Amino acid sequence: MITSVTAFAPATVANVAVGFDILGFALESVGDKVTLEKNLKSKEVNILSIKGLEGLPLDPQKNTATIGLLKMIADLELPYGFNVKIEKGIPISSGMGGSAASSVAAITAANEFLEKPLNRTELLIYALEGEKAASGAIHADNVAPSLFGGLTLIRSLEPIDIIEIPTPSLFCVLVHPDIKVETKYSRSVLKPEISMNKFIQQSTHLASFISGCFKNDLDLIKRSCIDFIIEEQRAHLIPGFYEVKKAAMDNSALACSISGSGPSLFALAKNEKEAAQIKDEMIKSFQNNGILKLDSWVSPINKNGSYIIERIKK
């Protein structure tokens, strides 16, 4: 009998400039870990510890890692509960899918205890519960790539329809300035309506970006991965945004924009050497704009998504 499972779920870049709320991809180099211990004495969920970040709620009804677990226990009528240990590797309010990763890691671990494990589409339903609590809206552009891996397109959530998009062998640069941008606030600054002209521009670029991924056409990806709608509305939340973006593009980046709701910025690079140069220049530009404390990563796109690190059997 399995008594304990530890799972890892990767950080993600959501929106990917052209696909607000419908596109996202997973990273390899950073993410969250969640350990579940089966509790045969109770159907309750108890959070035993949280490492890596301070101030996160220990109440399982309020923590994004455990909200989905509560629904899973109720829906599947499980005769047991879980004791939970959370290890955060993703900064809070960073635009890197931290709430999604915790939820995905917990649900991925819980699936190992089931007599009839759920498929990834079924797991997504429970992982979305944590994301809904964190952002106040149901969107899967962080949850889906963290769970499925790779670049995902969310065609529909009712019913769930996730399309996995092939990607060239690109590297992602992710730079996180040490400022907080709450997801709910970042969504609140967006206008409820857009012009027909911008709708057409964005639709064209979304379609051609996806076409570039299927065709392995890096030049088409570069011409297409440009946001006409969301970026300009959120740029003011990130000091020096346009200077940092210019630094990336001047150093051969294929694209650069806001990761999720920010304040992290992502850039796409053709290879690891160019990615390292882009990262250095982005950091310098942030520092020139008064942001001295930063975290940064260079990572290929993670094709696998969440996975099990350890199983302990009795």
Length of the chain: 314
Catalytic residue, from 6, 35, 183, 274: name it: 183
Strands across the sheet containing 265-269: 255-258, 265-269, 171-177, 294-300
Known catalytic residue at 164: no
The reported pLDDT for the residue numbered 51 is 97
Angle, CA of 284, 288 and 294, to the nearest 5°: 55
What are the tens digits of pLDDT across the range 217-241? Answer: 999 999 999 999 999 999 999 999 9
pTM (2 d.p.): 0.94
Are 308 and 6 a contacting pair, CB within 8 Å? Answer: yes
Domains observed in the chain: 2-164+302-313 (3.30.230.10), 171-300 (3.30.70.890)
Q: Name the band, by pLDDT with cuts 50, 70 and 90, for residue 47.
A: very high
CB atoms inside a 10 Å sphere around CB 87: 18
The reported pLDDT for the residue numbered 193 is 94
What are the tens digits of pLDDT across the range 113-126? Answer: 999 999 999 999 99
Alpha-carbon distance 255 to 248, whole Å?
8
pLDDT of 135 strictly over 70: no
Catalytic residue, from 131, 231, 274, 281: name it: 131
Average pLDDT rounded to a whole number, residues 11-17 = 97
The reported pLDDT for the residue numbered 132 is 78
What are the tens digits of pLDDT across the range 54-81? Answer: 889 999 999 999 999 999 999 999 999 9
pLDDT of 136 strictly over 80: no
What are the tens digits of pLDDT across the range 259-303? Answer: 999 999 999 999 999 999 999 999 999 999 999 999 999 999 999
Known catalytic residue at 183: yes
What are the tens digits of pLDDT across the range 141-177? Answer: 999 999 999 999 999 999 999 999 999 999 999 999 9
